[in-house]
């Protein structure tokens, strides 16, 4: 049974890139275009992993993660954050917000895959 | 990589470029607003996000120059967003210039233009970043980290600093096996993390757990499922890259105990569970918790964004197909109605069918309707460039940009608009000195507007410049042989001369307006859309050039009439009534003119067969009016007129097909339609047919092609 | 869109071949053989009487229905200033796309589809066609082997379809 990943990014092209890469790796993909819709979709599809951008209108990535973690049911849900750079500070910021891990964009398919493996049982 | 995959990437990149276009539009709107004084958090954030998105995608698709430039631009925007650099006019100017360069980079990435020289813009951005603003301006507020900014990253002591990579043994073999120890901290399972996955990953690299430290494991009853108690020691083959090992620990909380070292030449550690002392001095303390900035709304409340509508991208080609199919549906519906007996035609299903079809048609047509704003979007940039090149300062006023027109129209008026704007700046607006002398403000104004009136769209470019110099235009036209020297022309006719091919009054043919290419292209394009160009000009006051375009009304209710056996469509909208003339009701007034007497009034009658120049049957007299039909039509230009036709077939809804698309506008015709049997019926343009000056529509003198 | 009127031929853009080659369609008008770019050809149709248009030069025979689009039909011979073609069993209409527009041209007979090399195209000599811009060049096309001996091939005049521009014929006529 393949795993379901929810991707949240306001850029359609980025969503499509992720979908192409992840589907090729055998995952089922659901998508949302900002944090608010991400939350809605989360409740609907109950993914095994969430990959989210940070900069989005309506509700950004950090707000989304915090909203997810606020729900006890989802405290064990792995969440990966996408960003163009990850300084040590940014990593800590992400972790403090509740992210499980991170991926840099532009992403390398292999690194994406190994990042997923490290957080998704 | 298979072709299928690279095709997919091309498709995705195409979408990325569309997003770039939207992002650029958003950014330009935001920067313009900032230039006008609105530097609210919402505005700046919108610009930042737009540039950030472009940067992100550009990197993904490998556009180096674009990525690099947008990265620096984004840095500046970040500073402005954080309040560390104020959005003063000077700074905004730098950003607007940077925006123009960014647009050029996007165009270059699309292969539409050469890569721009961005060195000056980059330098300007760097200067502002370094100085915290633009010199010679009011002092910039002292940069302070604002606590309400959710994206302000504060440095945090990260445990990795303390990692000791020195090998424990004095001289390990370069490719000696790794010894890895890992003891997750108590908080290891927060954030949905699963430390065991790290172990699994290490095993995936070829690692083997050699020891496990169970010393901290409490009795089952006291076991908390979300706390980590176990530590592991693993050995990994020396061939594994250090980077690969480090990567496995990338997400692990800094307060965990983890270390990897190359084993010394000594035998591997015994099976005693050994946990090396935590090499991380600061590990014991959790990093100072960052205030979860994101949770609290920033002091400047997030903008009340208009409820984002769900949208979907549709291939325009598919819409065209859909529109064609709907058209076919209308035709078939008409034919079906025709086949029914008059009694059956009354049945309620038939009008319902017609109504449903009409609704589908309206909806499909509205799919293609877009705000004309898209066509106007390039104008501000164009004006900035033109201002710079000509040294004339011009402001732009835009109105009616939400007017909806068919997407096809938007695509086709882009070029004409460009020409018209260039002309307005080049020839219309006078140099500042001339304007001052005339008592006009030095800054010229160009007004761009769109308006729908009835079945037409009026797109107008007007300027408050010097108006058309009619003497000069006329002289040039005579010089170029476009008109005879003694021709008598009204002011309007002289104005229209500027649309003649090969015409240009520029003494120095400027790089902008080119050689005589310009208004004739505009007129050709507009006529190809089935429209016309109106010019109004007042010397010293200004010029207004209007493109009058028909709304794409694809469906028309009309009467099928016959002229000399050929079927034509007469739009029902103009028809008032139909008369079967009684003997003597139609009387001649001159050798060729006739009138019809209708309830005491005399209305002019036009024989359409003669208007169209259909050859009369040899020797035959004119058809007697009693053997024909006269359709009374109402026209704007000539009031009520009677049109004489041979017979009327029926009335039906027809789909308008353009004649201009492949041919050119023909006076007296408003297109063509394809009847149910596949044959073509020409659609009559009533206004043109009844115009008093238009007695006959004759073929233009054919070119003498044969030598 | 239905496919009832499937085209006889479909446009083919020549692939990258060494020495810039391209395909042309050759046809005859009277004794002269002409050629047009294969890439412009949409369809070859049998002659059918088009719907006449008022107020157009006589070389525009009318318009016809090309799968839902209204397309003008031009008597090519007349357009070149020659006597009108007489329609016979092998007459056909070449439906082409050029300069964003579609049009059909009545010709006497379609000959062949041949590949020519750009290098072989020579400038056109003075012909009896008064509008030199219409002729792009001259190229010799060898006869097909199947035509047997004695067939020496033909000198083909390449037509510039865009220069045959049908729009805005008269401008500011008095």
User: Over the stretch A45-94, which tens digit does the pLDDT of each residue have?
Assistant: 889 999 998 888 878 888 888 888 888 888 788 999 988 767 777 777 78
Q: Which of A23, A93, A116 to mutate to test the interface with B (most CBs of B within 10 A)?
A: A93
Contact call for residues C19 and C108 (beta carbons, < 8 A): no
| SS3 state at B645 | strand
Round to whole Å and give the CA distance between C167 and B355: 38
| Cα C110 to Cα C25: distance, rounded to the nearest angstrom | 8
**DSSP result, B541-552:** TEEEEEEEEE--
Contact B704 C81 (CB under 8 A): yes
pLDDT tens digits for range B208-232 = 888 888 887 888 887 777 777 788 8
Tell me the β-bridge partners of B94: none
**Protein fold of C21-173:** OB fold (Dihydrolipoamide Acetyltransferase, E2P) (2.40.50)
In sequence order, what are the residues at sequence separation of 6 or more whose Cβ sits closer than 8 angstroms to the Cβ of residue B608? B563, B568, B643, B644, B645, B684, B689
**Residue B343, helix vs strand vs coil:** helix
Torsion of CA B242, B248, B250, B253, to 10 degrees: -120
**Interface mutation target, options B294, B303, B308, chain A, most CBs of A under 10 Å:** B294
- 8 Å CB contact of C51 and B672: yes
Query: Which of B63, B188, B191, B240 is the mutation pick for testing A, counting most A CBs within 10 A?
Result: B191
Q: Tell me if B156 and A105 make a contact (CB, 8 A cut-off).
A: no
B700 and chain C in contact, CB less than 8 A: yes
- How far apart are the C-alpha atoms of B35 and B94, rounded to whole Å? 11
pTM of the model: 0.44
Measured in angstroms, the CA of C161 and the nearest CA of chain B are apart by 13
Q: Are C53 and C46 in contact (CB under 8 A)?
A: no
Q: What are C156-168's pLDDT values in tens digits?
A: 889 988 887 665 4
Chain A, 26-55: which have a CB under 8 Å from a chain B CB? 34, 55
Closest chain A residue to the Cα of B287, Cα to Cα: A92
Instruction: Report the alpha-carbon distance of residue A54 to residue A36 in Å, rounded.
Output: 13
* pLDDT over threshold 60, residue C118: yes
In the prediction, which pLDDT does C3 show?
A: 43
Say if residues C62 and C51 touch (Cβ distance below 8 Å).
yes
Dig out the tokens for B335 from the structure. 């034919």
Q: Which residue has the higher pLDDT, B690 or C27?
A: C27
Q: What is the distance in angstroms between the Cα of B593 and the nearest Cα belonging to chain C?
A: 21
- Interval B449-500: pLDDT, tens: 998 776 678 899 999 998 888 888 888 888 887 788 887 888 888 888 888 7
pLDDT at B7 over 80: no
More confident residue, C129 or B604: B604
Show residues of chain A in contact with B57, CB under 8 Å: 11, 13-14
Which residues of chain B have a CB within 8 Å of the CB of A89? Answer: 153-156, 158
B220 shares contact with chain C (CB less than 8 Å): no
Look at residue C27 and tell me whether its pLDDT is greater than 80.
Answer: yes
Name the DSSP letter for residue B58.
H
CB proximity under 8 Å: B 550-569 to C: 566
Contact C167 B664 (CB under 8 A): yes
What pLDDT was estimated at residue B157? Answer: 41
Q: What whole-number percentage of chain B has pLDDT above 90?
A: 8
Please give the DSSP secondary-structure letter assigned to residue A121: -
CA-nearest residue of chain B to A50? B192
Rounded to an integer, what distance in angstroms lies between the CA atom of residue B286 and that of residue B289?
8
Q: What DSSP line would sit under B683-701, residue for residue?
A: EE-HHHHH-TT-----PPP
A78, two tokens: 């792995």
pLDDT digits (tens, 9 = 90+) for A13-47: 888 888 888 888 889 999 998 888 888 899 888 89
Task: State which residue of chain A sits closest to B9, comparing Cα positions.
Answer: A17
Alpha-carbon span B678 to B655, nearest angstrom: 12
Does B303 or C173 have the greater pLDDT score?
B303
Residue B525 has pLDDT above 60, yes or no: yes
pLDDT at B689 over 60: yes
Q: CB neighbours of B237 closer than 8 A, spacing ≥ 6?
A: B177, B178, B206
Average pLDDT over residues B47-75: 88
**What is the arithmetic mean of pLDDT over C6-16?**
45
Determine the residue of chain B that is closest to A118 in CA distance.
B197
Average pLDDT over residues B663-673: 80
| pLDDT, position B410 | 81
- Rounded (5°) CA angle C95-C101-C104: 25
- How far is the C-alpha of B473 from the C-alpha of B477, rounded, in Å? 6
Residue B250 to chain A, least CA–CA distance (Å): 8
Higher per-residue pLDDT: C105 or A117: C105
Mean pLDDT of chain B: 76
Please say whether the beta carbons of C44 and C9 come within 8 A: yes
Percentage of chain C with pLDDT > 70?
74
pLDDT at residue B510 in the model: 47
In Å, how far is B680's CA from the nearest CA of chain A? 45
Residue B58 has pLDDT above 50, yes or no: yes
Report the interhelical angle of B89-109 vs B41-60 (nearest 10°): 30
Instruction: Measure CB to CB from residue C102 to each of B524, B528, B662 and give the nearest one.
Output: B662
Q: Which residues of B touch A90 (CB under 8 A)?
A: 153
Residues of B numbered 655-694 whose beta carbons fall under 8 angstroms of chain C's beta carbons: which are they? 657-659, 661-664, 666-669, 671-672, 674, 678-682
- In terms of pLDDT, which residue wins out, B227 or B669? B669
Task: Dump pLDDT digits (tens) for A98-118.
Answer: 888 888 877 788 888 888 888
Is the CB of A11 less than 8 angstroms away from the CB of B198? no
Coil, helix or strand at residue B558: strand
Of B19, B49, B201, which has the smallest distance from its Cβ to A12's Cβ?
B19
Distance CA B318, CA B312 (A): 13
Residue B415: Cβ within 10 Å count? 12
Q: How far apart are CA B86 and CA B375, in angstroms?
A: 33
Q: Which residue has the tokens 């092609």?
A: B705
pLDDT tens for B570-597 read: 988 788 899 898 888 888 888 778 899 9
Domain extents in chain C: 21-173
Q: Which of B342-357 are b and which e, b meaning 16 or more Cβ less than 10 Å from the residue's Cβ?
A: eeeeeeeeeeeebeeb
Check residue B136 and give its pLDDT: 61
């Amino acid at each position: 049974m393949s795993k379901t990943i929810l991707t949240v990014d306001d850029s359609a092209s980025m969503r499509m890139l992720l979908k192409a890469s992840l589907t090729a790796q055998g995952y089922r993909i659901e998508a949302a275009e900002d944090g608010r819709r991400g939350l809605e979709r989360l409740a609907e599809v109950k993914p095994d992993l969430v990959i989210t951008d940070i900069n989005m209108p309506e509700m950004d990535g950090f707000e989304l993660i915090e909203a997810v973690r606020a729900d006890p049911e989802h405290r064990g849900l792995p969440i990966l954050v996408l960003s163009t750079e990850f300084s040590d500070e940014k990593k800590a910021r992400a972790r403090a917000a509740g992210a499980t891990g991170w991926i840099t964009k532009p992403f390398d398919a292999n690194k994406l895959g190994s990042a997923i493996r490290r957080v998704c049982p | 990589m298979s072709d299928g995959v690279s095709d997919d990437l091309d498709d995705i990149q195409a979408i990325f470029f569309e997003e770039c276009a939207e992002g650029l539009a958003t950014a330009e709107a935001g920067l313009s607003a900032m230039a006008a004084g609105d530097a609210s958090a919402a505005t700046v954030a919108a610009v930042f996000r737009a540039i950030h998105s472009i940067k992100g995608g550009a990197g993904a698709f490998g556009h180096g120059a674009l990525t690099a430039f947008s990265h620096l631009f984004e840095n500046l925007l970040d500073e402005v967003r954080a309040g560390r650099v104020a959005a003063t006019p000077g700074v905004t100017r730098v950003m607007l210039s940077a925006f123009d360069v960014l647009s050029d980079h996007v165009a270059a990435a699309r292969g539409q233009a050469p890569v721009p020289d961005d060195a000056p813009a980059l330098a300007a951005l760097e200067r502002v970043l370094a100085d915290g603003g633009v010199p010679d301006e009011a002092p910039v507020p002292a940069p302070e980290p604002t606590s309400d900014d959710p994206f302000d990253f504060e440095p945090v002591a990260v445990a990795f600093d303390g990692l000791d990579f020195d090998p424990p043994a004095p001289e390990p073999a370069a490719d000696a096996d790794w010894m890895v120890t890992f003891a997750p901290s108590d908080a290891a399972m927060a954030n949905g993390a699963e430390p065991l996955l790290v172990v699994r990953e290490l095993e995936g690299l070829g690692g083997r757990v050699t020891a496990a430290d169970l010393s901290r494991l409490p009795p089952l009853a006291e076991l908390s499922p979300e706390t980590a108690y176990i530590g592991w020691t693993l050995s990994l083959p020396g061939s594994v890259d250090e980077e690969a090992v480090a990567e496995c620990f990338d997400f692990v909380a800094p307060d965990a105990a983890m270390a990897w070292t190359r084993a010394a030449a000594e035998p591997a550690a015994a099976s005693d569970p050994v946990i090396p002392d935590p090499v991380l001095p600061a590990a014991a303390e959790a990093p100072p918790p960052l205030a979860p900035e994101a949770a609290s709304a920033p002091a400047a409340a997030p903008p009340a964004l208009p409820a984002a509508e769900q949208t979907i991208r549709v291939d325009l080609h598919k819409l065209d197909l859909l529109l064609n199919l709907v058209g076919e549906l209308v035709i078939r519906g008409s034919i079906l109605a025709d086949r029914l007996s008059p009694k059956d035609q009354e049945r309620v299903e038939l009008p319902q069918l017609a109504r449903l079809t009409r609704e589908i048609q309206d909806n499909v047509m509205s799919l293609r309707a877009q705000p004309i704003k898209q066509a106007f979007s390039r104008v501000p940039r164009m004006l900035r460039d033109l201002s710079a090149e000509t040294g004339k300062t011009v402001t732009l006023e835009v109105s009616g940009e939400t007017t909806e027109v068919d997407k096809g129209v938007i695509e086709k008026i882009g070029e004409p608009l460009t020409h018209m704007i260039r002309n307005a700046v080049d020839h219309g607006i006078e140099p500042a000195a001339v304007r001052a002398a005339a008592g006009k403000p030095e800054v010229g104004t160009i007004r761009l507007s769109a308006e729908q009136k009835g079945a037409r769209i009026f797109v107008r470019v007007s300027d408050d410049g010097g108006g058309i110099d009619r003497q000069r235009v006329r002289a040039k036209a005579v010089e170029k042989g476009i008109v005879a020297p003694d021709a008598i022309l009204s002011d309007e006719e002289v104005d229209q001369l500027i649309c003649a091919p090969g015409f240009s009054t520029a003494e120095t043919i400027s790089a902008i307006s080119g050689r005589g290419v310009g208004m004739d292209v505009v007129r050709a394009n507009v006529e190809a859309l089935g429209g016309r160009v109106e010019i109004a000009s007042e010397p010293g006051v200004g010029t207004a050039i209007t493109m009058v375009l028909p709304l794409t009304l694809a469906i028309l209710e009309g009467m099928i009439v016959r002229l000399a056996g050929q079927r034509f469509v007469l739009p029902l909208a103009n028809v008032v009534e139909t008369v079967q003339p009684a003997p003597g009701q139609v009387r001649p007034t001159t050798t060729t003119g006739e009138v019809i007497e209708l309830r005491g009034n005399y209305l002019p009658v036009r024989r359409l067969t003669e208007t169209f120049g259909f050859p009369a049957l040899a020797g035959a007299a004119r058809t007697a009016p009693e053997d024909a039909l006269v359709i009374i039509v109402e026209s704007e230009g000539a009031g009520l007129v009677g049109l004489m036709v041979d017979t009327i077939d029926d009335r039906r809804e027809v789909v308008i097909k353009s004649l201009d698309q492949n041919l050119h506008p023909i006076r007296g015709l408003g297109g063509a339609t394809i009847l149910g049997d596949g044959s073509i019926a020409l659609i009559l343009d009533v206004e043109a047919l009844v115009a008093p000056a238009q007695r006959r529509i004759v073929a233009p003198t054919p070119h003498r092609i044969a030598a | 869109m239905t496919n009832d009127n499937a085209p006889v031929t479909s446009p083919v853009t020549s692939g990258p071949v060494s020495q810039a080659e391209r395909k042309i369609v050759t046809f005859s008008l009277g004794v002269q053989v002409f050629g047009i770019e294969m890439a412009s050809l949409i369809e070859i149709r049998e002659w059918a009487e088009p719907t006449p248009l008022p107020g157009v030069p006589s070389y525009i025979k009318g318009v016809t229905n090309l799968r839902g689009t209204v397309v003008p039909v031009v008597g090519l011979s007349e357009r070149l200033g020659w006597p009108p073609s007489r329609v016979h069993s092998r007459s056909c209409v070449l439906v082409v796309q050029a300069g964003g527009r579609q049009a059909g041209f009545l010709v006497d007979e379609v000959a062949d589809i041949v590949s020519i090399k750009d290098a072989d195209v020579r400038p056109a000599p003075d012909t009896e066609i008064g509008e030199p811009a219409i002729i792009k060049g001259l190229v010799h096309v060898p006869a097909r082997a199947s035509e047997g001996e004695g067939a020496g091939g033909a000198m083909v005049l390449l037509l510039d379809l865009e220069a045959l521009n049908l729009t805005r014929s008269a401008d500011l006529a008095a």
